[in-house]
Amino acid sequence: MHDSSKLSSPQAILRAVARVLENNSIAALATLVEAESNVGAKLLVDERDERTGSLSDSVLDDAVATFTKTFLQSRAGARTFKLEEIIGQQERALGSLETDARILFERIEPEPRLIICGAGHVGASLARLARFIGYRTTLIDDRADFVARERFPDEEIELIAASNWADALREKIGAGRGVSVAVVTRGHNEDEECMRAVMAARPDYVGLIGSKRRTNIVLERLHDAGFDEERLREVRAPVGLDIGAVSPQEVALSILAEIVAERRGGSGRPLSDWRRT
């Protein structure tokens, strides 16, 4: 049962984790944290069900690999499960496993990214706030002086002076996994140009700033250009949660609150609502 050659070499696990992060993929790292033996054994299962390492028991590895899908579908970053929560009835009947063992599941995924089109007052505030919250942030504008480094001393904010919005966006969005895009340019021609490139890619979140009327004009043009209606409906337009934002900084907070709520599965409602209903 205990084939030590199959136990996870730390180097193999580290290489696999690095690969997941570099490829913008997602995986679960399962670690045996409470058991009679092999505490610390690890199994990494990626979203294509490729495995690295072992928890030292092939039945357990199979059960963990199956359970990984459930774990990744939940939005949990890390959670500890008892073995009996992971294994199905059939496996339990096999009986060789200690059912009081516990396994820590951790989500391995790249930092969330935010791409901001437009470095005006809102875009600039949003870039600074997003960095603070922990987003890898890219700020794009076609006016080089608006994305000059002097305006953004934080080197972690990536600045792009784009001669062509669409090319810059295509390159930056890539496969779109874990990517949010906020379109906050200075005018609706630029908004539309950005939105065409954004809709052709597949980011997780798309927000477009403007009044209902102004954003509707852009979305209708995209519809007329043949973009998928259902995906257009998912566009957050006007972007942001209703917090009564007035200043650019407040608007940035409203936008980022919506992005976080989308990623974490929040409702955007006050937590105190229950007192009043």
Partner 1 sequence: MGTIAQAELYRLIAQAQERGERVAVATVAHTRGSTPQRRGAKMLFFENGEVAGTVGGGCIEAEVWAEARAALRNGTSALHHFQLTADEASEEGMVCGGTMEIFIDVWKSREEG
Decide: is 192 part of the binding site for partner 1 (CB under 8 A).
Answer: no
Least gap, CB of 193 to partner 1 (angstroms): 32
Whether residue 175 contacts residue 207, with contact meaning beta carbons closer than 8 Å, is answered with: no
Helices (H) and strands (E) in the chain, counts: 10, 10
Nearer to partner 1, 21 or 232 (CB): 21
Decide: is 175 part of the binding site for partner 1 (CB under 8 A).
Answer: no
Nearer to partner 1, 128 or 186 (CB): 128
Binding positions for partner 1, 29-58, rule CB under 8 A: 31, 33-34, 39-40
Decide: is 21 part of the binding site for partner 1 (CB under 8 A).
Answer: yes
Distance CA 182, CA 210 (A): 11
Decide: is 102 part of the binding site for partner 1 (CB under 8 A).
Answer: yes
Helix (H, G, I), strand (E, B) or coil at 182: strand
Nearer to partner 1, 121 or 263 (CB): 263
Distance CA 70, CA 81 (A): 12
Which of 180-198 are b and which e, b meaning 16 or more Cβ less than 10 Å from the residue's Cβ?
A: bbbbbbeebebbbbbbbbb
Nearer to partner 1, 113 or 236 (CB): 113
Q: What is the DSSP letter of 9?
A: P
| Contact positions vs partner 1 (CB under 8 A) | 9-11, 14, 17-18, 21, 31, 33-34, 39-40, 76-80, 102, 104, 106-111, 134
